[in-house]
Amino acid sequence: MISNISKLTPFFTYKNTAVFNESVLNKNCFKAEFFDLGITSPPYNVGIEYNSNDDALGYKEYLKFTQLWLKNCYFWAKDRARFCLNIPLDKNKGGAQSVGADIISIAKSVGWKYHSTIIWNEGNISRRTAWGSYKSASAPYVIAPVELIVVLYKNEWNKNKGKKEKGNDDISKEEFIAWTNGLWTFNGESKKRIGHPAPFPRELPKRCIKLFSFIDEIIFDPFCGSGTTLIEANTNNRKGIGLELDINYCKLIKERISENDGLL
Protein backbone atom coordinates (compact mmCIF):
# COMPACT_ATOMS: atom_id res chain seq x y z
CA MET A 1 0.00 0.00 0.00
CA ILE A 2 2.73 2.48 1.00
CA SER A 3 4.75 2.23 -2.20
CA ASN A 4 1.63 2.99 -4.21
CA ILE A 5 1.03 6.34 -2.52
CA SER A 6 4.45 7.67 -1.48
CA LYS A 7 8.16 7.39 -2.25
CA LEU A 8 8.97 8.46 1.31
CA THR A 9 9.92 6.04 4.07
CA PRO A 10 7.33 6.13 6.87
CA PHE A 11 8.36 6.68 10.48
CA PHE A 12 6.63 3.41 11.26
CA THR A 13 4.07 0.99 9.85
CA TYR A 14 1.74 -1.44 11.56
CA LYS A 15 -0.73 -3.69 9.76
CA ASN A 16 -2.52 -1.30 7.38
CA THR A 17 -1.36 1.84 9.21
CA ALA A 18 1.54 4.15 8.37
CA VAL A 19 2.78 7.40 9.92
CA PHE A 20 5.10 9.81 8.11
CA ASN A 21 7.23 12.32 10.01
CA GLU A 22 6.55 15.07 7.47
CA SER A 23 4.77 18.40 6.99
CA VAL A 24 1.38 18.70 5.33
CA LEU A 25 2.81 21.70 3.47
CA ASN A 26 5.05 19.37 1.46
CA LYS A 27 2.96 18.50 -1.61
CA ASN A 28 5.48 15.82 -2.58
CA CYS A 29 4.68 13.67 0.46
CA PHE A 30 2.18 11.67 -1.54
CA LYS A 31 1.07 10.97 -5.06
CA ALA A 32 -2.28 12.42 -6.12
CA GLU A 33 -5.59 10.80 -5.19
CA PHE A 34 -4.83 8.22 -2.51
CA PHE A 35 -7.31 8.72 0.37
CA ASP A 36 -11.05 8.08 0.71
CA LEU A 37 -11.76 9.96 3.94
CA GLY A 38 -9.76 12.64 5.70
CA ILE A 39 -10.34 13.38 9.38
CA THR A 40 -8.31 16.01 11.18
CA SER A 41 -8.21 18.82 13.69
CA PRO A 42 -5.74 21.43 12.41
CA PRO A 43 -3.93 23.93 14.64
CA TYR A 44 -6.42 26.50 15.97
CA ASN A 45 -3.84 29.32 16.16
CA VAL A 46 -4.68 30.13 19.77
CA GLY A 47 -1.22 29.82 21.29
CA ILE A 48 -1.18 26.09 22.13
CA GLU A 49 2.37 24.97 22.93
CA TYR A 50 3.06 22.31 20.32
CA ASN A 51 6.63 21.07 20.09
CA SER A 52 7.18 21.84 16.40
CA ASN A 53 4.44 24.20 15.27
CA ASP A 54 3.90 27.93 15.77
CA ASP A 55 0.32 28.25 16.99
CA ALA A 56 0.37 32.03 17.29
CA LEU A 57 0.57 33.31 13.71
CA GLY A 58 -0.94 36.57 12.54
CA TYR A 59 -4.46 35.84 11.33
CA LYS A 60 -3.71 36.54 7.66
CA GLU A 61 -0.67 34.29 7.86
CA TYR A 62 -2.78 31.59 9.53
CA LEU A 63 -5.34 31.74 6.70
CA LYS A 64 -2.53 31.49 4.12
CA PHE A 65 -1.21 28.41 5.95
CA THR A 66 -4.76 26.98 5.96
CA GLN A 67 -5.10 27.49 2.21
CA LEU A 68 -1.82 25.67 1.53
CA TRP A 69 -2.62 22.54 3.50
CA LEU A 70 -6.23 22.36 2.31
CA LYS A 71 -5.00 22.62 -1.29
CA ASN A 72 -2.51 19.79 -0.76
CA CYS A 73 -5.16 17.60 0.82
CA TYR A 74 -7.47 18.24 -2.13
CA PHE A 75 -4.65 17.16 -4.47
CA TRP A 76 -4.17 13.93 -2.46
CA ALA A 77 -7.89 13.10 -2.20
CA LYS A 78 -9.56 10.54 -4.45
CA ASP A 79 -12.56 11.50 -6.53
CA ARG A 80 -15.62 11.43 -4.20
CA ALA A 81 -13.37 11.54 -1.10
CA ARG A 82 -14.84 13.10 2.02
CA PHE A 83 -13.03 15.36 4.49
CA CYS A 84 -14.14 15.94 8.10
CA LEU A 85 -12.55 19.01 9.69
CA ASN A 86 -12.81 19.55 13.44
CA ILE A 87 -12.39 23.33 13.72
CA PRO A 88 -13.47 26.12 16.06
CA LEU A 89 -16.63 28.10 15.45
CA ASP A 90 -14.84 31.33 16.30
CA LYS A 91 -12.24 32.78 18.65
CA ASN A 92 -11.68 35.83 20.80
CA LYS A 93 -8.03 35.36 21.72
CA GLY A 94 -5.91 37.84 19.77
CA GLY A 95 -9.01 39.50 18.35
CA ALA A 96 -12.45 38.12 17.49
CA GLN A 97 -12.45 36.08 14.26
CA SER A 98 -15.02 33.90 12.47
CA VAL A 99 -12.56 31.02 12.13
CA GLY A 100 -15.04 28.35 11.06
CA ALA A 101 -16.59 30.48 8.34
CA ASP A 102 -13.18 31.57 7.06
CA ILE A 103 -11.82 28.01 6.86
CA ILE A 104 -14.95 26.80 5.03
CA SER A 105 -14.60 29.65 2.54
CA ILE A 106 -10.94 28.79 1.92
CA ALA A 107 -11.74 25.09 1.51
CA LYS A 108 -14.32 25.89 -1.16
CA SER A 109 -11.89 28.23 -2.93
CA VAL A 110 -9.34 25.41 -3.42
CA GLY A 111 -11.91 22.96 -4.78
CA TRP A 112 -13.61 21.23 -1.85
CA LYS A 113 -17.40 21.15 -1.95
CA TYR A 114 -19.47 21.74 1.17
CA HIS A 115 -21.85 19.05 2.42
CA SER A 116 -22.83 19.87 6.02
CA THR A 117 -21.65 20.89 9.47
CA ILE A 118 -21.95 18.78 12.60
CA ILE A 119 -22.06 20.70 15.87
CA TRP A 120 -19.97 19.00 18.54
CA ASN A 121 -21.28 19.85 22.00
CA GLU A 122 -18.20 19.01 24.02
CA GLY A 123 -19.69 18.09 27.36
CA ASN A 124 -16.66 18.81 29.56
CA ILE A 125 -15.46 21.91 27.73
CA SER A 126 -14.35 24.90 29.79
CA ARG A 127 -14.31 28.15 27.86
CA ARG A 128 -15.46 30.69 30.47
CA THR A 129 -12.09 32.37 30.86
CA ALA A 130 -13.31 35.86 30.01
CA TRP A 131 -16.68 37.59 30.44
CA GLY A 132 -15.87 40.97 28.95
CA SER A 133 -17.99 43.57 30.74
CA TYR A 134 -19.53 41.35 33.42
CA LYS A 135 -23.26 42.01 33.95
CA SER A 136 -23.10 45.01 31.64
CA ALA A 137 -24.07 45.68 28.02
CA SER A 138 -20.88 47.71 27.66
CA ALA A 139 -18.69 45.00 26.04
CA PRO A 140 -19.73 41.43 26.94
CA TYR A 141 -18.14 38.36 25.37
CA VAL A 142 -20.45 35.69 23.94
CA ILE A 143 -18.73 32.31 23.74
CA ALA A 144 -20.45 29.21 22.31
CA PRO A 145 -19.11 26.06 24.07
CA VAL A 146 -19.14 24.00 20.86
CA GLU A 147 -16.84 23.05 18.01
CA LEU A 148 -17.56 22.28 14.37
CA ILE A 149 -17.02 19.14 12.34
CA VAL A 150 -17.29 20.41 8.77
CA VAL A 151 -17.98 17.73 6.14
CA LEU A 152 -16.51 18.40 2.70
CA TYR A 153 -16.13 16.27 -0.42
CA LYS A 154 -14.33 16.17 -3.76
CA ASN A 155 -16.39 16.48 -6.95
CA GLU A 156 -19.39 14.24 -6.10
CA TRP A 157 -21.03 13.19 -2.84
CA ASN A 158 -22.49 9.82 -3.88
CA LYS A 159 -19.69 7.27 -3.53
CA ASN A 160 -21.62 4.56 -5.37
CA LYS A 161 -22.78 6.61 -8.34
CA GLY A 162 -22.04 4.78 -11.57
CA LYS A 163 -20.55 1.76 -9.76
CA LYS A 164 -21.84 -1.80 -10.15
CA GLU A 165 -20.82 -2.90 -6.66
CA LYS A 166 -21.73 -1.14 -3.43
CA GLY A 167 -19.20 -0.46 -0.72
CA ASN A 168 -18.96 -2.56 2.43
CA ASP A 169 -20.74 -0.78 5.30
CA ASP A 170 -20.41 -1.60 8.99
CA ILE A 171 -22.66 0.99 10.64
CA SER A 172 -25.68 -0.19 12.63
CA LYS A 173 -29.21 1.13 12.25
CA GLU A 174 -29.02 2.75 15.69
CA GLU A 175 -25.68 4.42 14.96
CA PHE A 176 -26.85 5.71 11.59
CA ILE A 177 -30.03 7.27 13.00
CA ALA A 178 -28.20 8.83 15.95
CA TRP A 179 -25.17 10.13 14.05
CA THR A 180 -27.05 11.66 11.11
CA ASN A 181 -28.47 14.04 13.71
CA GLY A 182 -26.05 16.93 13.30
CA LEU A 183 -25.72 17.64 17.03
CA TRP A 184 -23.16 15.33 18.63
CA THR A 185 -22.68 15.38 22.39
CA PHE A 186 -19.71 13.65 24.00
CA ASN A 187 -16.82 14.71 26.21
CA GLY A 188 -13.47 15.94 25.00
CA GLU A 189 -10.19 14.15 25.75
CA SER A 190 -7.75 14.68 28.61
CA LYS A 191 -4.48 16.34 27.58
CA LYS A 192 -2.72 14.87 30.61
CA ARG A 193 -3.95 11.33 30.01
CA ILE A 194 -2.95 11.29 26.33
CA GLY A 195 0.26 13.33 26.58
CA HIS A 196 -0.61 15.79 23.81
CA PRO A 197 -1.74 19.45 24.14
CA ALA A 198 -4.78 19.14 21.86
CA PRO A 199 -6.15 15.58 21.53
CA PHE A 200 -9.67 14.80 20.39
CA PRO A 201 -11.61 11.81 21.78
CA ARG A 202 -11.85 8.51 19.91
CA GLU A 203 -15.61 8.95 19.56
CA LEU A 204 -15.10 11.73 17.00
CA PRO A 205 -13.13 9.82 14.34
CA LYS A 206 -15.06 6.61 15.08
CA ARG A 207 -18.34 8.24 14.11
CA CYS A 208 -16.86 9.91 11.04
CA ILE A 209 -15.20 6.69 9.88
CA LYS A 210 -18.31 4.52 10.19
CA LEU A 211 -20.68 7.16 8.81
CA PHE A 212 -18.61 8.42 5.87
CA SER A 213 -16.41 5.50 4.73
CA PHE A 214 -16.52 1.83 3.79
CA ILE A 215 -14.50 -1.04 5.27
CA ASP A 216 -10.96 -1.27 3.79
CA GLU A 217 -10.92 2.36 2.57
CA ILE A 218 -7.98 4.67 3.31
CA ILE A 219 -8.40 7.12 6.19
CA PHE A 220 -5.99 10.08 6.27
CA ASP A 221 -5.06 12.52 9.02
CA PRO A 222 -2.67 15.31 7.91
CA PHE A 223 -2.21 16.58 11.50
CA CYS A 224 -1.89 13.23 13.22
CA GLY A 225 -1.10 14.57 16.70
CA SER A 226 -1.61 11.73 19.17
CA GLY A 227 -2.80 9.28 16.50
CA THR A 228 -6.46 8.97 17.51
CA THR A 229 -7.75 8.90 13.91
CA LEU A 230 -5.34 6.08 13.04
CA ILE A 231 -6.27 4.08 16.12
CA GLU A 232 -9.92 4.20 15.10
CA ALA A 233 -9.10 3.41 11.47
CA ASN A 234 -7.21 0.30 12.60
CA THR A 235 -9.95 -0.67 15.08
CA ASN A 236 -12.67 -0.32 12.43
CA ASN A 237 -10.95 -2.27 9.63
CA ARG A 238 -9.77 0.66 7.56
CA LYS A 239 -6.31 1.58 6.33
CA GLY A 240 -4.75 4.55 8.13
CA ILE A 241 -2.23 7.09 6.83
CA GLY A 242 -1.00 9.98 8.95
CA LEU A 243 1.34 12.96 8.75
CA GLU A 244 2.95 14.35 11.89
CA LEU A 245 5.61 17.07 11.91
CA ASP A 246 6.94 16.43 15.43
CA ILE A 247 9.11 13.36 16.00
CA ASN A 248 8.05 13.02 19.64
CA TYR A 249 4.38 12.89 18.69
CA CYS A 250 5.25 10.24 16.07
CA LYS A 251 6.70 8.18 18.93
CA LEU A 252 3.54 8.79 20.96
CA ILE A 253 1.37 7.58 18.04
CA LYS A 254 3.44 4.41 17.72
CA GLU A 255 3.12 3.76 21.45
CA ARG A 256 -0.66 4.36 21.50
CA ILE A 257 -1.34 2.14 18.48
CA SER A 258 0.76 -0.63 20.06
CA GLU A 259 -1.05 -0.27 23.38
CA ASN A 260 -4.45 -0.30 21.67
CA ASP A 261 -3.65 -3.61 19.99
CA GLY A 262 -2.25 -5.11 23.18
CA LEU A 263 1.35 -5.15 21.98
CA LEU A 264 2.69 -3.27 25.01
Domain residue limits, the chain: 2-158+168-260
- HSE-CB for 88 with a 13 A CA cutoff: 18
Q: How sure is the predictor about 15, in pLDDT bands with cuts at 50, 70 and 90?
A: confident
Residue 263, pLDDT score: 47
CA distance linking residue 184 with residue 219, whole number of Å: 21
Task: Give the integer Cα–Cα distance in Å for 45 and 170.
Answer: 36
Q: Once rounded to an integer, what is the mean pLDDT over residues 170-186?
A: 96
Question: Average pLDDT in the 90-103 region?
Answer: 85
| 2-158+168-260 CATH pick, 2.40.50.140, 3.40.50.150, 3.40.50.1010, 3.20.20.80 | 3.40.50.150
Asked if residue 208 lies in contact with residue 120, where contact means CB atoms within 8 angstroms, the answer is no
- Greatest mean pLDDT range, 83-87, 199-203, 226-230: 83-87
CA distance 224 to 169: 25
Residue 109: strand pairing partners: none
At 39, give phi and psi (nearest 5°). -135, 125
CA angle 148, 66, 145 (to 5 degrees): 25
pLDDT value of residue 227: 92
Give CA–CA dist 61/83, Å, rounded.
23
> pLDDT category, 47, cuts 50, 70, 90?
very low
pTM surpassing 0.85? yes
Residue 262 has pLDDT above 60, yes or no: no
Query: What mean pLDDT is predicted for residues 215-244?
Result: 95
